[in-house]
Amino acid sequence: MAVVLAGHSYGKAENRVVRFQRDTPRHEIVDLNVTSTLRGDFADAYLTGDQSKVLPTDSQKNTIYSYAKEKGIASVEGYALDLARHFVDDVEPVTGARLDVDSYRWTRAVVDGAEHDHTWTRSGGEVRTAAVTVSGKGAAQEAFVVAGLKDLTVLKSTGSAFKGFLTDGYTTLEPTDDRVMATSLVAQWRYDEQALADGFAFDAAYDAVRAAFVGQFATLDSLALQQTLWHMGTAAIEAVPAVVEVRLAAPNKHHFLYDTARFGVENAGEVFHADDRPYGLITAVVARDDVPAAPLAWER
């Protein structure tokens, strides 16, 4: 029996990059968490300790911070593309690079009724994400851009049912025509090649996809969370033609009607117990049928 090194990669995880735009009295802020992962023939570093092909993770960190100034951060996807292409094109042993970016929101502080030029409060809500993969050299190079969000918590108090489901000897859940639906959505969507060209409006595309998700969640008279995810993914692809594949994961944040009748108090669908676990976890992949699958885009 032989033992082999079956796979390897390395990088610098969770670089907290805060970039201010200070060209005018009204400053702007971008707050990121950036992780780089490099692939190539680095086997000797593992097998013999030879580091001659290894670009230190400290160098990757320095590049991540310097590029925030050198290239700027017009969009998180564009910034990640610049970094991934640099590592593959300019560092000879590197054959593939992945950049994962989380973007955190800040809201301008309001002072005396007006937005302040250089003070913010950290916003709640979702975290914007981006994962960019660049692989190969020269004309054979492939690049994939996967945008996304996580922790988008949405809830509606009506317009959701769950009935007609399979039952067995362990089923205790009662069917319902009207229930609270809530989830903390995780979504990722892959763009086609037009998004790799300079000038693609990543920020506008993100806003359109997010609006499609929220709009479908709010307006669909849903028979199941599964149905809602299908409509969300379809609406995103229809809203942004460059989106070719959407992956969704939705924990079902259960709300159970609290029994106040035992206290002589009527509860007509007004008071609920929010139960955080265990929870149903629903996932879906919605894709255009005219675009080939791209496993490398999702590979970590």
Q: What's the CA angle centered on 61, arms 57 and 63, to 5 degrees?
A: 115
- Cis peptide leading into 241, omega within 30 of 0? no
- 226 marked ligand binding residue: yes
Name all domains of the chain by residue range, CATH numbers in brackets.
1-140 (3.10.270.10), 148-300 (3.10.270.10)
- 247 marked ligand binding residue: no
What is the predicted pLDDT for the residue at 124? 79
| Ramachandran category for residue 159: left, alpha or beta (phi over 0 → left; psi -120 to 50 → alpha) | left
What is the predicted pLDDT for the residue at 153? 95
Q: Return the active site residues.
A: 12, 57, 254
What is the predicted pLDDT for the residue at 300? 79
Residue given tokens 């292409």 in the structure block: 85
- 141 marked ligand binding residue: no
- H or E segment and range at residue 211: helix 202-219
Q: Distance between CA 172 and CA 177 in Å, rounded?
A: 16
What is the predicted pLDDT for the residue at 276? 80
If the chain, 300 residues long, is cut into consecutive pieces of 10 residues, what is the mean pLDDT of each piece?
A: 96 97 95 97 96 97 97 96 97 97 96 95 91 95 97 95 96 94 96 89 97 96 97 98 97 93 94 91 97 91
What is the predicted pLDDT for the residue at 123? 81
CA count, 13 A, side-chain hemisphere, 109: 9
Q: Distance between CA 157 and CA 180 in Å, rounded?
A: 5
